[in-house]
Amino acid sequence: MKTQGWATRAAAGTMILAFALAGCSNQESAEDQTSEASETQSESGDDAESGGDDASSDDGAEDAKSQDSTASGSSGLASDADLSKESPSVTPKDAIATAKKEAKDGTVHGIELDFDERDKAWQYEVKIINTTTDFDVEIDAETGDVVDVEKDSTDDKEKAIDLNDPMTFDEALTLAQDKASGRLEGWKLESDDGRIEYQFDFDDKGEEIEVSVDVESKNVTVDD
């Protein structure tokens, strides 16, 4: 009986040891699986973050490209353009036609082109008298849109100007450049007190020079 008891306790001890070993093995396996799952999740997160960075980089590149395209597409004359060498999209003739629609026809007695610092755009200013109303119409020199219209009562009877007769813009500019040099930053043709003349505004290295050319007498005067 004593021998059988020892055998029984030995068998029980063996089973307990087997279960203990099995438990340890299962725990280590579970820990290994948890560690592997954690590493996989971390790698996936890194990939996703990397992908996000790439996507963000791509979006930034697309935005920059879009901005460059917009700037290029909307570009016209630079603010410091030389009007003796470059011209805006809208011609003086077209600007006058647009202004006459606003004034319901009338006598055109002045047109001016310069860069408007407030609107940051090249603009024409066309002056038209229709009966007793003097219209001052501002027109975007790149788009042809009417920017502003001012009206004043008047009893003046100004002469009508003509861009080609008796003197063209190019002829008047040539006479003006004999007296002054530099960048042509603005010009106008207007009738005032019965006299019609071109006025050219030059910027010669920071020095402002105004040259007037009488279209009939071809007399040139310089005011600096």
E strand or H helix that includes residue 136: strand 133-140
The whole-angstrom distance between residue 108's C-alpha and the CA centroid of its chain comes to 33
* Cβ pair 198, 212 in contact under 8 A: yes
> What is the C-alpha end-to-end distance of the chain, expressed in Å?
136
Tens-place pLDDT, residues 113-171: 999 999 999 999 999 999 999 999 999 999 999 999 999 999 988 999 999 999 999 99
Point out the least confidently predicted range of 68-72, 166-170, 196-200, 204-208: 68-72
Strand partners, 107: 129
Q: Is the pLDDT of residue 44 over 60?
A: no
* Cβ pair 115, 122 in contact under 8 A: yes
Strand order in the sheet with 220-223: 146-153, 133-140, 121-130, 107-116, 183-192, 195-204, 207-214, 220-223
Position 194 scores a pLDDT of 86
Q: pTM for the complete prediction?
A: 0.67
Tens-place pLDDT, residues 47-87: 444 444 444 444 544 444 334 333 333 348 999 999 999 99
